[in-house]
A and B are shown apart, each in its own frame.
Chain A
């Protein structure tokens, strides 16, 4: 190991939204030089059974920026310890370890972007593709007093989904929330989006 004269990175933290986990830290600056960083991790298994083993991040074994997308390293719903050190040529700093282990079940879940369209009399939605962990609960209803709310689970985003055949002159509304089975949680519902169907309501 090079002599640890480089300061260790500080202020490690993980920002996690919709199961994307970004590890950030304060950069180590050396005038006129580019400082690189190495990231390593331990899942709960390693910290319990093989605590001497730290695993090089698959994403940032050596990176120049003060951040690392560790999404592909954090693959189980258990606490993960993360550490970073700086490197400049042969010199390396001491390791800095995240103060509190990170568990992906703490990720912030938000509703997906949603596009509600009419295809003739068909109510169609397309949801943002948030990745393999995500399913969506879609609620839709006809806007009228005492309307019944229908619910449908959509298994993945990025594909148009037919919800309902609408009646002329009626207005239909849709809202959606994300579901992530791997962590047993869901987001809040989105704002409702409504579409109106042209034409006169059919006589009863």
Chain B
């Protein structure tokens, strides 16, 4: 992501998520099912596909998850808004990067993204949105891990 100069302040996003994690995960009634954590999705991505995969998963959250989730609690809503707007900012930066030909998308990333969307479609939409919100830490940890690897490579 460094190639794209995305100033990724995931620490602030993680803090926002940690504050609502319990409230969100308590609403997840399908505990033995996962959307992001299947081994063929994020974990299978190679360093060269990290940029495209990040852009795809950001779009998954921005275009589907945040829209499909209806949050009554203002405190939780503020945190979700903070994350959603941070994702939107990152997504726009990665889109510019792709236009400048520095964020290539290969079939591997497309396949992994399809698995996430297929997992999402297996569940009723509200349940799928809650589960995906509850798995934000999986995505954030994956971004952090890949960010550190590219900086030490």
Contacts and interface: CB of A to CB of B under 8 A. Distances in A.
A199 interface: no
A73 B78 CA distance: 8
Given A75-B12, A182-B9, A184-B7, A44 B85 contact: yes
B84 interface: yes
Given A49-B67, A181-B9, A56 B74 contact: yes
Nearest to A58: B78
A55 B66 contact: no
A112 interface: no
Interface in B86-103: 86-89
A164 interface: no
A150 B74 CA distance: 49
Interface string B72-86: 001101100110111
Interface string A38-53: 0000011110111001
B75 A55 contact: no
Contacts of A78: 85, 88-89
B12 to A, nearest CB: 7
A123 B64 CA distance: 55
B16 interface: yes
A45 B85 contact: yes
A45 B61 CA distance: 11
Contacts of A156: none
A53 B67 CA distance: 11
A188 to B, nearest CB: 21
B136 interface: no
A76 B7 CA distance: 11
Contacts of B66: 45, 49-50
Nearest to B11: A132
14 contacts: A45-B62, A45-B84, A45-B87, A46-B81, A46-B84, A49-B62, A50-B66, A55-B77, A55-B78, A58-B75, A61-B74, A76-B85, A76-B89, A182-B7
Given A46-B84, A53-B77, 12 more contacts: A43-B84, A45-B81, A45-B84, A45-B85, A46-B81, A46-B85, A49-B84, A50-B67, A76-B82, A78-B85, A78-B89, A182-B7
Interface of A: 43-46, 48-50, 53, 55-56, 58, 61, 73, 75-78, 80, 132, 181-182, 184
